[in-house]
Structure 1
Amino acid sequence: MAALVPYAPCTTPSQRFRIEQWIPHLHERGIEVRVLPFAGPVLTRWMQSPGHVLRKASFAAAAVARRTGRIAFGRLGDVVLIHRAAALFGPPVLERLLTLRGRPLVFDFDDAIFLPHETETNRRLAWLKSPGKTGTICRLSAHVVVGNGYLAEYARGFNPRVTIVPSSIDTDRYAPRPCATGGKVVVGWMGTSSSQTYLEVFAGMLREVAALPGVEIRVISNRRPELPGVPVVWHPWSAGTEAEDVAGFDVGIMPMPDTDWARGKCALKGLQYMAMGVATVASAVGANREVIEHGRNGLLASTDAEWVASLRTLVENPELRARLGRAGRVTVEARYSMRSSAAAFAEVVRSVVERTRA
């Protein structure tokens, strides 16, 4: 099976916590996967940083040419997996070409990519993403795989064969560590520069939390956060140390605005915290409400006042932090482990192959 993914391997969360980490488990089930990125390492790096508009455009054009040639003439296997889109830009021409070659498509996405969404990093190129093509790709596909119920509702408007397979966690790597005693209570956030804009919206709330006695606000990301008036400890993100970085949190936070785009987000940050046994507080938005049962395996908050109250309670109550952390770990092991998601995805691939051969 050829897996057409947007970016170079090991660079973006959606690929890493879905397709890439499932590959060994798919192999165990007799499904061989070749990952074919649209963007190479250089274009991937430029796409994740501002500027370089002309370079991005020239490298993207070359990537389209390579992708077209591979789809038209290359070996693709029995099934073709498309993660998010066959190309970063433009209409679904390549997806149509795949169907002309008679290849059944499995279409996987974990964000509301059918909605316009632009970041400061690539604002000038946002119009090229063609978010409307998502519905067309759903129609062209033999099966659609999505990360949560909100995305499934959208996909079923175009294709009846839709399966929810959540983004998942390697529970061997993300395993609870012994907790340090004493010192400050670390309220932590980890993510990418694009999702960090959500955190920065909550600067006012974080100022109140940072003023609580014995609290440290810690951010792990690939750019320094812009949080005026918030004393924050920032560490650069690294894939090699992200599990250990989360282990240093006493409380993990996932604040998000209640927008259509945010409702389509999978609860990956929260799952990372929960897998490590870290007490988690998340906005009561989208998939967070599917994952967290308030008061049992984490806390949900809808207003700044609720956020401050929840975090104050956790800061002052280490027993509650420990209880929520243990329950969060159980939740991830039961419903969001890498192995269970890979097994569910393998069943989708098998069903597509069987229907094609029937």
Structure 2
Amino acid sequence: MWLRWMFRFADGVVVSTKNIAERLKLLNKNIEVVPNALDERLFEQSRNIHKLNNNNHLVFGYMGTLTHIEDLISIVGPLRRVLAQYKKFITFEIVGIGDNNIIENAFHGLPIRIKQVPPQMVLYDKFTNWMQQNIHWDFGIAPLIDSEFTRSKSDIKFLDYAVQGIPGIFSAVPAYNDTIKHMENGLLAATSVEWEYCLRLFVTDRDLRLRLGQRAHTEVWQHRMLANSVQNWIIALRSIYDKTTESHGDL
């Protein structure tokens, strides 16, 4: 209730996605959208892409909290089929929700590896360091069930992966549709068939992985870090100020 009160009586509101802005417009007409950006000071280790391993063993992965278990389970069929076919030379790493029995049962007998984040590393500034030291994937995945709630989510998984030069496969949902250009800076999958196709494509096409990872990395470092997106905040705040003074007179 207090959040609704704050939105209603604020001079302006800044949000991270168009869908959030749309949902809040009944509470406040003066809304600006500024996409999420990463603090480059936390990712200096990833300013240059680390060379991928040259052996024949491929590692891909997923990061997510327990609240995202249904998202991962939604593509368990394609994942199981691909893992079973290529089990001799691929490993699927799961970070964050791997201690759940549902996950362990879903991938029983398949080449998965569960990575636990140490308790002392869960705060964001610590986690980013742990992530850069421990996540060295050939590609990452970001399944997301389409729902009224998830339509307001941002493209944060793209940022998490791309900042390290990790190419990704993303659900074709509002959170990613505007950011991901299919076959340019990532892959989009809308159905189980498309997920299986994209998984196989990344497993078998190293050049594609490298190309998309490089493009995604360049995009994030050039446009989605705080240092180069601060202008977006200046524009948004000036817009809020201008609209406020127009409606209420000079402050």
Deviations 1:172-197 (Å, cap 9, x if unpaired)? 51432121111421121112222243
Task: Kindly state the Cα deviation for residue 171 of structure 1 after the two structures are TM-superposed.
Answer: 4.2
* Structure 2: gaps (5+ residues): 122-126
**Equivalent residue for 1:141, pick from 6, 10, 13:** 10
Distance 2:132 2:97 in 1: 15
CA distance in structure 2 between the aligned counterparts of 1:276 and 1:342, rounded to whole angstroms: 21
| Superposition deviation, residue 334 in structure 1 | 3.4
Larger proportion of helix: 2
Shift of 1:251: 0.8
Residue 348 of structure 1: CA displacement? 4.3
Q: Which of 78, 81, 85 is matched with 1:205 structurally?
A: 78
Report the counterpart of residue 30 of structure 2 in structure 1. 161
What aligned pairs does 1:181-330 form with structure 2 within 5 A after superposition?
181-213=54-86, 214-221=89-96, 224-225=99-100, 226-227=102-103, 228-230=105-107, 231=110, 232-237=112-117, 238=121, 239=127, 240-246=129-135, 248-330=136-218
Please report the TM-score for the alignment, with normalisation by the length of structure 1.
Answer: 0.58
> Which residue, out of 11, 32, 53, partners 1:180?
53
Task: Return the alpha-carbon distance in structure 1 between the equivalents of residues 196 and 22 of structure 2.
Answer: 33
* 1:241 aligned counterpart, secondary structure: helix
- Structural mapping, 1:99-118, within 5 Å: none
1:185-225 Cα deviation digits (max 9, x unpaired): 11211122222432133222221121132221101116514
What stretches of structure 1 move > 4 A for 4+ residues in a row? Answer: 346-357
Residue 287 of structure 1 deviates from its aligned partner by 2.0
For residues 92 and 142 of structure 2, the distance between their equivalents in structure 1, rounded to whole angstroms, comes to: 13
- What is the number of residues matched between the two proteins? 226
Aligned-residue RMSD, C-alpha: 2.3
Which stretches in structure 1 are left out of the alignment for 5+ residues?
1-90, 93-132
Higher RCO, 1 vs 2 (CA within 8 Å, ≥6 residues apart): 2
353 and 148 in structure 1: CA distance in 2 versus 1, 3 angstrom threshold? closer
Q: Work out the CA distance in 2 between the residues paired with 1:304 and 1:222.
A: 21
**SS at structure 1 position matched to 2:85:** coil
> In the alignment, residue 94 of structure 2 is paired with which amino acid?
V
Percent identity, aligned pairs only, is 26
- Contact kept in structure 2, 1:258 and 1:285, CA below 8 Å: yes
Cα shift readout 1:238-297 (whole Å, capped 9, x = no counterpart) = 413112333x11111000111111111111112111121111100000120111001111
| CA displacement 1:148-177 (0-9 Å, x = unmatched) | 111122222332221111222234514321
Deviation per CA, 1:47-86: give whole Å up to 9, x if none.
xxxxxxxxxxxxxxxxxxxxxxxxxxxxxxxxxxxxxxxx
The structural deviation recorded for 1:345 is: 3.0
Looking at structure 2, the residues matched to 157 and 244 of structure 1 have their Cα atoms a distance apart, in angstroms, of 44
**CA distance in structure 2 between the partners assigned to 1:193 and 1:345 by the alignment:** 32
CA distance in 1: counterparts of 2:83 and 2:132, whole angstroms: 24
What is the TM-score when the length of structure 2 is the normalising length?
0.80
**Structure 1 residues 257 and 222, CA gap change in structure 2 (3 angstroms):** closer
CA contact (8 A) 1:185 1:216 kept: yes
Q: What amino acid is aligned across from residue 131 of structure 2 in structure 1?
A: E
